[in-house]
Structure 1
């Protein structure tokens, strides 16, 4: 498992001798608008559910997510975050040769190595704004039985258009495509078309509540695939892998779909405005700002600066951003900043420009 995910606020606070809530954490990609209205109140009222075992297979929660996504419940599994499915994918699918489209989230690599597989990589390039060339990807992917794709990608924020991705999966029916859509709900309405409705037998979608609904601590994630794929993964499921409060959260969301839709719509509008403002504040500072449909911005640092140096300067200001040097395919020239509330974004932009101007 990789060390150096975002969100390590406690360790930074301990090093600085301050309280964790005195640190501004822009290293972790959570909805800047917080939690879906009413959800925390509902969970507070249902705290007594932790005194009993949850539903063993999370059947009601699975039905709730299937209703939200508009798909058949027989195509869905619920786990302890989408991470559970990342780490069981190789044995569940019988993977032997794995390709990872990057630079991307490191747990795909960690999951392969856990099962004795050394993955290969197809790396998008900074000169092409980290956009994936699906024609070139198809040529390489034909040599592999399993491909991991994060779409939109972390940390680049790049999105493979739905029709291109669908054509890729149909072109290589013998290759399993694991498509992580954890950040897709943040994308603008016109490009957020999910692969969950795809009927291809070789497509497995990972879907998460953590990011868009602001509840990463509940560890609620889902796998969507054909009935056959679901059965392959079910063999690696443990009983009670979804806790009581996570299942309660799904029940609330499914019963309040209008609140949910309004919240997601408000999030999209907020991010579109804030990202434009944030990028304008960084314009002219010498950094490279890559296109993003997500709540985070990948930044190429000006020559002469390193991610470690810039991150340390900002830690002194009690601002935490993501050092991207441990993403395979990136180096010490990249950082990632996740948007928060407007006043925090303005402050972070000023501090960042000052940090690279020293």
Structure 2
């Protein structure tokens, strides 16, 4: 059972006795601009296609993705979100011992645990703003066959430059590198940092459409790798794993390059403004990053659960990061939303951190 993720607006709406639409969800790292214009109408027109089975292996969508990145169709597989792949990879690749570069997304470790795969962590240090030392990462590769790297990383927001990561993979051809690029589209000119089209036989790249296009409820993701790895994954992937609406959405979204640029520039601007307004607030330390979310450490008496509860009472959800291995109950993550919603969150944070009032239980 998946626990400890953001985006639990339905449970919180029941607790607060309100509609989910009345909650500002800053706990889930989806696009602050919502869905691209035209997607809803496009999907509405596609409803008539639900009377037929979807394409068994998302053939058209897979072909379009391959063409976009100038790779072969046998280097791509389409999935029911990247989570499907994360839980297939340990058994499909026969992973024996994995290294997870953290602090990071818990599902990499959870997927290994499901299949009794031994795993260890390389943890970037707080004093270095959680930026991983690549030389130290390479030293940690001894004895492992697979490496999980989220780039940019969740929840720290740090980006390892594409060329640096490419060199690490090339220098260790006997290791498999699983690189989760779900948040790379939020980075301005992020396409220059991808490993999708770098022809690296020991690299698996994950790409989520849920985050950048604001469609987590549709579940759509891609995996790119060498034909040999794709073949191994295919043996464990179920047919019709992607529903027809998600397939149609993917075809539409592959043409939304301008929307991706708009989200990247909006995110960069709002991130700068968000941090500027909080720079004089005591008890809150931000960490540098490049994504649509920001990691903070609480340095006063309040813990993450306290602040999350207080904000929830104001119908604002943020992420308690205490269940990220390598972090403590003093860390929170806030995903940027519209400017108005960001300003409301800032004011509520100011109130909570300045008063230090007792936390009211929900």
For the 8 Å contact 1:142–1:172, the answer to whether it is kept is: no
Q: Equivalent of 2:260, from 259, 264, 283?
A: 264
CA distance in 2, matches of 1:326, 1:69: 35
| Post-superposition offset of 1:191 | 7.5
| Post-superposition offset of 1:251 | 2.1
For the 8 Å contact 1:104–1:327, the answer to whether it is kept is: yes
For the 8 Å contact 2:96–2:118, the answer to whether it is kept is: no
Does the residue aligned with 1:228 lie in a helix, a strand or coil? helix
Q: Which residue of 2 aligns with 1:185?
A: 185
Deviations 1:5-46 (A, max 9, x none): 001111111111222112111101110111122111100001
Is residue 284 from structure 1 mapped to residue 298 from structure 2 by the alignment? no
Does the residue aligned with 2:217 lie in a helix, a strand or coil? helix
Q: Which residue of 1 aligns with 2:295?
A: 298
For the 8 Å contact 1:179–1:204, the answer to whether it is kept is: yes
Q: Which residue of 1 aligns with 2:309?
A: 312
For the 8 Å contact 1:64–1:250, the answer to whether it is kept is: no
Give the TM-score normalised by the residue count of structure 2.
0.95
| Post-superposition offset of 1:266 | 1.0
Deviations 1:135-187 (A, max 9, x none): 11011113210111000000110111111111111111111000000000001
Give the TM-score normalised by the residue count of structure 1.
0.96
| Post-superposition offset of 1:188 | 2.0
Instruction: Please list every run of 5 or more consecutive structure 1 residues that lacks an aligned counterpart in the other structure.
Output: none
Aligned residues: 354
RMSD: 1.2
Q: Which residue of 2 aligns with 1:324?
A: 321
Deviations 1:311-353 (A, max 9, x none): 1111111111000001111110100000001100011011112
For the 8 Å contact 1:101–1:147, the answer to whether it is kept is: yes
Deviations 1:231-277 (A, max 9, x none): 111111111011101111122234xx3xx111111111111111110
CA distance in 1, matches of 2:86, 2:195: 17
Q: Which residue of 2 aligns with 1:230?
A: 230
